[in-house]
Amino acid sequence: MNVVAKTETGRALGDAFAVVRDRLPGKGQIADQRRQAFEAYERSGLPHRRIEDWKYTDLRALMREVLPLAPLPDAAALKRAAAAAKLRAIKGVRRLVLVDGAFSPELSDLGKLEKGLGIRALREVLETGDGALAAQAFASDNSNPMVALNGAMATDGVVIELADGTVLSQPLHIVHVASGTAPAAIFTRSLLRLGRDAGATLVESFLAAEGAKAYQAHDGLVVSIGDNARLDHVRFVEDAVDAFNISSATVSLGAHAHFNTFAMTSGGHVSRYQLAVACAGEGSKVETNGVNLINGKQHADTTLFMDHAVPNCASRELFRAVVDDRAHSVFQGRIIVRPDAQKTDAKMMTRALLLSDEAEADNKPELEIFADDVTCGHGATTGALDQSLLFYMRARGLPEKEAQALLIQAFVGEAIETIASDALREVAIAAAQRWLEARA
C-alpha cells in the first residue's frame, strides 16, 4: 500500500483551495471536476525528478510551493497592466487581456467581431451553464499534476469559437499580464475551437507590469481544430526575472487540418511549456518550433508530445536553445506512432548553443513506433559558437559581442522563419534582439 504523507505546503494549499472554492466559477459538474482535479494533484503534489517527464525540472526543488491565489485586479492594477500591454503591443491584432487571472473587457478589443467569430470570458461560460463548452475546457488529463492543479484553480480565461468556413483576417492576441506587487499565483485556462474549413492566427504573450514580482503563472490552453482548418499559433514568454510560468496546451486536429506553432521563451526564472498534440484525423499536418533564449540562472523547459493515431499524417519539430551564464535549457520531445498510423512522416531536431562553460542543455528526443510503414527520425546536438567564424568576423572589424549576436541570430533564425506571418516574424526577431542587447 502506498501512503502519501502530506507536507505543510500540501496542507496549506488544500486549505487555500477550500477557502477560494466559492470564488471559482462553475457549479455542479464543473465544481465536481475541480474537486477531482485537486484531489488528483494532492495525491502526487509538485512533480519531482523521480517522475521521468519531470526529471530535469524538479518543481519541489525549484518552486517548492504553490502561492496563494492572486486577488482580483483593482483600478491601480488595471492601470499598470494597461501600461505593460501597451509597451508590448502588436499592430494589427485583436487584443484580449487577462490581468492577474481575470479577463479585462476594458483593456480588450471586443468591438466589431468578424462574422463567425465568438469571444467570451471563461467565467461567463461557466456561470451561464454552457455545458458542452465547459466540459471541453475542463476535459483534461489529471495524471499530469500541474494540469490537474490548473483545472482545479483556474479563475478565468478566454473562450474563442470560429464557425465553419470562418477565416479571420486579423490575428487574435491573448495578453497575460501579472500586475500584483505581492507574490501570488495566477491560474488561467482558455479554449479555442475552429470549425471546418476555418482559419486563424493566435498570439499569446506573458508579461509583467512594473512592480510585479515573484509571481507564478499557471496557464492552460485547449484547442480543437476542425477538418480542413488551419491554426497558426505564436507564443512569447517575457515574464519578470523572478517569475514562474507553468503552461500546458492540448491540441486536437481533424482530417487534413494544419497546425503551425512557434514559442519563444526569454523571460521568467523558471518556465515549463507542455504541448500535447493529437493527430486525430487523417492527412493532418503539424509544425512545432521553438526557441529558448536564457541566461543568468534561468531554467526553461519545453516538453512536446506528438501523438500520431491515424494514417497519413506529418509532423515536424524544430527547436533551438541559446544558453548563457548558469542557465539551464531542457527539451523533451516524444513522438508516438500508433499501430494504425501507417504512412506517418515525423521528424524532430533540437540544437543547443552554449555560451558559457557553466551553461547546461538537456535534450531528450524519443520515438515510439508501433507501425511498420512510416518515415520517422530525430536528432540532437549541443555545442559552442564556431570559433573560426567568430575569428573571421572579428578579423574584419566587428566587436566580439556584435559578432556573437550575428551568429546567434543566424542560429535561431531557422526556427523563427517558420512563423507564417511576416509581421509576427518581425515581432519574434525584435524579442530576440532585446535579449541580445540586454546580454551585451
CB atoms within 10 A of CB 417: 13
What distance in Å separates the CA atoms of residue 268 and residue 181, rounded to the nearest whole number? 16
Residues 6+ apart with CB under 8 A from 146: 41, 47, 59, 218, 246, 248, 272, 274
Cell output for 359? 551553461
Residues 197-224: b if buried by 16+ CB within 10 A, e if exposed: bbbbbbbbbbbbbeebebbbbbbbbbbb
Work out the average pLDDT over 367-394: 92
pLDDT of residue 280 exceeding 60, the answer is: yes
pLDDT on residue 9: 56
Q: Quick one: which of 381, 147, 421 has its CA closest to 262?
A: 421
pLDDT on residue 131: 74
Segment holding 10, helix H or strand E: helix 8-20
pLDDT tens digits, 317-372: 999 999 999 999 999 999 999 999 999 999 999 999 999 999 999 999 999 999 99
- Segments making up each domain of the chain, as ranges: 8-384
pLDDT tens digits, 148-195: 999 999 999 999 999 999 999 999 999 999 998 899 999 999 999 999
Give just the sign of the alpha carbon dihedral 87, 91, 95, 101: negative
pLDDT on residue 23: 81
CA angle 426, 429, 433 (to 5 degrees): 135
pLDDT on residue 12: 64
The reported pTM is 0.94
Lowest-pLDDT range, 13-27, 298-312, 335-349?
13-27
**Dihedral, 362, 368, 372, 375 alpha carbons, nearest 10:** -30
- DSSP calls for 207-251: EE-TT--S-EEEEEEEEEE-TT-EEEEEEEE---TT-EEEEEEEE
Residues 310 and 281 sit within 8 Å (Cβ to Cβ): yes
What distance in Å separates the CA atoms of residue 213 and residue 215, rounded to the nearest whole number? 6
Cell output for 328? 539551464
